[in-house]
Amino acid sequence: MGNAEFTLEGRSASFFTLGCKLNFSETSTIMRQLIEAGAHKAVKGEKADICVINTCSVTEVADKKCRQAIHKIVRENPDAYIVVTGCYGQLQPGTVADIPGVDIVLGQDQKGNVLENLNGLVKRDHGISKTVGTNDIKNFVPSCSRGDRTRFFLKVQDGCDYYCTYCTVAYARGHSRNPSIESLVAQARQAGQEGGREIVITGVNIGDFGKSTGDSFIDLIRELDKVEEISRYRISSIEPNLLDEVIDFVAGSRAFMPHFHIPLQSGSNEVLKLMHRRYEREVFADKVRRVKSVMPDAFIGVDVIVGMRGETDELFEDAYRFIESLDVTQLHVFSYSERPGTAALRIPHKVSPQTKHERSQRLLELSDRKTRAFYEAHIGHEATVLVEKPRRGMPAHGFTDNYIRVELDSAQVQENSLVRVLLGGFNAAADALTGTIIK
């Protein structure tokens, strides 16, 4: 039943998100739609009339967490109309619709149409699903959402055409697509007018921007840089083979921060081939060198997967040595997870869970050493920090342009302000440097 036929006035709604920043951004947009239609966000302890669950399916563990979350939400809100959307709902609609209490599963093409699928909030005897196949996911659901902190998340692209052998995202999200640059610039300007100082540019494969419109990611960021209402932009993640023009632009831009997140996935060329990644490690190393040559203080975060099928002990050791040699700041380490329907399942040599854990721990320890060294190299330097909303009872904090977390005296700073600080000692408990306000 469409939203014109019934009202959400007085109705309470709860929203639950699993997975990536893009999911959080999209959930925020769904929440805004329901609130504009009259609903209010349920407060703690209040039974919700509507529950929207935005799911993830990046790993087997993510699938399990989604099922657990759905069961828990149904149990806590037995009379609520339960809407499930997101990647797990797209890939396993029947499984999700069969969960007792679920009313409707909305695939990726329906994610922006929650209001039109509320059925007058009349619960169903059995869940139904509205999904289409991967090749039929064509629409783009816009999203520019404010997080709980000072930054906005601007979705610029959706879908992926890469089909890496270990990954289901291309199946769950559809082909790469994007809106117009003009519409994204307008959303960025609106975020600035609402008080946003920083925007994180999100998507599935944002460097592939332009498949729908014939332009490119560099065209987009050039135009966003002109939006004077925004002080800072961060690029959430970008493939190394799509970085060429971006590095030099960021180095000379007004508002794009010296902060990169680049997926490597493996430091072994043999494993990269098994993954069907579109570069060799030498390309990745070259991109890191290029970033550091024009932005020596740039923060570089790197995604790495351990335990991919085919990753022998020798290949992992080779990968480890390569990653150790890179001048990067932080590693985001993931254990390979078997995904139904992926080509990786045809690769022989399966890595045991214990070995995956051991490899993961070694890389996390390497990451800690690299991050600590990066932070300590900046002690005694001056920097500008964007102050974020502190958690209750915690000191104020914020991030420098190159993403160093800084703790500040709450009495001296105001949320969402840019302050100049002198960077002091490392606080291991908070993974932060202390900051002294420069008057």
Q: Which domains does the chain have, with CATH numbers?
A: 12-132 (3.40.50.12160), 144-376 (3.80.30.20), 382-437 (2.40.50)
Q: Round to whole Å and give the CA distance between 17 and 23.
A: 7
**In sequence order, what E strands does 307-417 have?**
330-335, 382-388, 396-400, 405-408
User: Is the pLDDT score of 6 beyond 70?
Assistant: no
pLDDT tens, position by position, 178-223:
999 999 999 999 999 999 999 999 999 999 999 999 999 999 999 9
User: Is the pTM value of this prediction over 0.75?
Assistant: yes
Q: Round to whole Å and give the CA distance between 397 and 298.
A: 20
Assigned token pair, 158: 């959706």
- Between 313 and 20, the more confident residue is 313
Partners of 262 in the β-ladder:
302
Taking residues 327-341, report their average pLDDT.
95
Question: Token match 């703790």: residue?
Answer: 407
Instruction: Please report, in angstroms and rounded to a whole number, the separation of the first and last CA atoms in the chain.
Output: 59
Taking residues 376-396, report their average pLDDT.
91
Assigned token pair, 49: 């009339």
pLDDT tens, position by position, 140-165:
989 998 865 678 999 999 999 999 99
Helix orientation angle between 313-325 and 281-294, rounded to the nearest 10 degrees: 10
Sorted by sequence, the CB contacts under 8 Å of residue 122 that are 6+ apart come out as 81
Q: How many CB atoms neighbour CB 357 within 10 A? A: 13
* Residue 30 banded pLDDT, cuts 50, 70, 90: very high
Question: Do residues 50 and 30 lie in contact, with contact meaning Cβ atoms separated by under 8 Å?
Answer: no
Partners of 351 in the β-ladder:
none
Closest CA to 291 of 257, 331, 338, 319: 257
Closest CA to 191 of 222, 237, 156: 156
> Residue 45 has what pLDDT?
87
* Residue 402 banded pLDDT, cuts 50, 70, 90: very high
Q: Round to whole Å and give the CA distance between 140 and 143.
A: 9
> Residue 148 has what pLDDT?
59
What is the share, in percent, of the chain residues with pLDDT greater than 70? 98
> Residue 7 has what pLDDT?
78
Mean residue pLDDT of the chain comes to 94
Closest CA to 195 of 389, 420, 407, 421: 389
Sorted by sequence, the CB contacts under 8 Å of residue 140 that are 6+ apart come out as 158, 177, 178, 179, 212
> Residue 5 has what pLDDT?
52
Sorted by sequence, the CB contacts under 8 Å of residue 176 that are 6+ apart come out as 157, 158, 159, 160, 161, 204, 205, 208, 211, 212
Could you tell me what percentage of the chain is helix, strand and coil, using 3-state DSSP and rounding each to the nearest 5? 35, 25, 40
pLDDT tens, position by position, 229-273:
999 999 999 999 999 899 999 999 999 999 999 999 999 999 999
> Residue 222 has what pLDDT?
98
Closest CA to 301 of 271, 334, 266, 262: 262
> Residue 99 has what pLDDT?
97
> Residue 363 has what pLDDT?
98
User: Is the pLDDT score of 410 beyond 90?
Assistant: no
Q: Round to whole Å and give the CA distance between 238 and 243.
A: 7
* Residue 3 banded pLDDT, cuts 50, 70, 90: very low
Taking residues 92-121, report their average pLDDT.
95
